[in-house]
């Protein structure tokens, strides 16, 4: 057991202290066993759960999920403090300095430079290729592709119109068809199709992640409609032939209630 006094209300300092106690001798064996990589997925999951709270505008859930994200930040910082490399205060110091540097119009002399311009200056990026390479590889692939396009656009590398982007998408789909026929390069051509689709979304100022999430929700609803139709006939969905299932899908698709 650790030496700890319960309170009716806790502060940020208490939060930091509790996480440190969990990782200290006498704390939690699970917390003591973790490192950056073992809880990397936890960090991602907490951020996505926080985003869902934001999307639903759920006040109670926001408090909970923002706390879970903050706990991850504190936890990783405590790991580094234990290693003697940096502390949570160092993290805060770096974040504050970055905000001040990237907002010279607020904290210094006015400037026409954008956030991206200041970011490139801060990181010593002198070429467009360097800004592309700096886009985080851990991002969801659709968002990463979109960010790459935004940065390439600054160099003037972008389709002049939507028809050009859609034409490229059609071209990549045909190349995927050929790859499937030959059995070679399927993974690469699939990636090219997805990238071209994101390019088309970018040209219409459509968030590809948001668009795909919407389609996923639509898919779930229409699939539920298929199952309900099958159950109404006293059968399981698996009992239908692929052609019959496709017909059921088209019926669900045509019904506005399943949009």
Within 10 A of 22 (CB to CB), how many other CB atoms are there? 19
Q: Is residue 124 included in any domain, yes or no?
A: no
Q: What average pLDDT does the segment 37-61 reach? A: 93
146 Cβ partners below 8 Å, 6+ apart? 198, 201, 202, 207, 208
Domain boundary (60, 86, 112) is at 86
d(CA 91, CA 75): 12
Q: Is residue 135 included in any domain, yes or no?
A: no
Q: Is residue 22 included in any domain, yes or no?
A: yes
Q: Is residue 217 included in any domain, yes or no?
A: yes
Task: Tell me the pLDDT band of 259, cut-offs 50, 70 and 90.
Answer: low
Report the residue count for the chain: 259
Residue 155 token pair: 């160099």
Question: What are the tens digits of pLDDT across the range 55-114?
Answer: 999 999 999 999 999 999 999 999 999 999 999 999 999 999 999 988 888 887 666 577
Domain boundary (86, 107, 135) is at 86
Question: What are the tens digits of pLDDT across the range 183-219?
Answer: 999 999 999 999 999 999 999 999 999 999 999 999 9
Q: Is residue 220 included in any domain, yes or no?
A: yes
CATH number at residue 65: 1.10.287.1080
Which is nearest to 255 in space by CA: 234, 224, 231?
224
Contact 249, 224 (CB under 8 A): no
Q: Is residue 129 included in any domain, yes or no?
A: no
Residue 118 to residues 104, 229, 232: CA-CA distances in angstroms?
9, 57, 61
How many domains does the chain divide into?
A: 2
| Residue range(s) defining the domain that contains residue 73 | 12-86
What's the pLDDT score for residue 3? 80
Domain boundary (37, 59, 86) is at 86
Q: What average pLDDT does the segment 9-23 reach? A: 95
Q: Is residue 81 included in any domain, yes or no?
A: yes
* pLDDT beyond 70 at 149: yes
Q: Is residue 225 included in any domain, yes or no?
A: yes
């Amino acid at each position: 057991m650790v030496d700890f006094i319960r309170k009716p209300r806790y502060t940020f300092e208490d939060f930091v202290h509790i996480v440190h106690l969990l990782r200290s001798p006498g704390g939690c064996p699970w917390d003591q066993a973790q490192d950056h990589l073992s809880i990397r997925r936890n960090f991602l999951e907490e951020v996505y759960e926080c985003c869902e709270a934001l999307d639903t505008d759920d006040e109670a859930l926001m408090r909970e999920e923002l706390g879970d994200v903050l706990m991850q930040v504190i936890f990783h910082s405590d790991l580094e403090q234990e290693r003697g490399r940096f502390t949570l205060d160092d993290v805060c110091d770096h974040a504050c300095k970055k905000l001040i540097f990237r907002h010279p119009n607020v904290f210094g002399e006015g400037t026409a430079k954008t956030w991206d311009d200041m970011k490139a200056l801060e990181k010593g990026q002198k070429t467009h290729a360097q800004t592309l390479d700096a886009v985080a590889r851990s991002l969801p692939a659709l968002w990463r592709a979109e960010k790459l396009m935004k940065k390439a656009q600054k160099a003037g590398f972008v389709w002049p119109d939507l028809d050009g982007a859609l034409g490229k998408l059609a071209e990549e789909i045909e190349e995927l068809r050929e790859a499937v026929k030959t059995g070679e390069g399927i993974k690469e051509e699939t990636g090219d199709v997805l990238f071209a689709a994101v390019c088309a979304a970018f040209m219409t100022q459509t968030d590809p992640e948001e668009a795909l999430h919407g389609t996923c929700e639509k898919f779930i609803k229409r699939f539920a409609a298929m199952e309900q139709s099958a159950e109404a006939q006293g059968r399981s969905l698996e009992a239908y032939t692929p052609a019959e299932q496709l017909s059921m899908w088209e019926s669900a698709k045509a019904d506005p209630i399943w949009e």
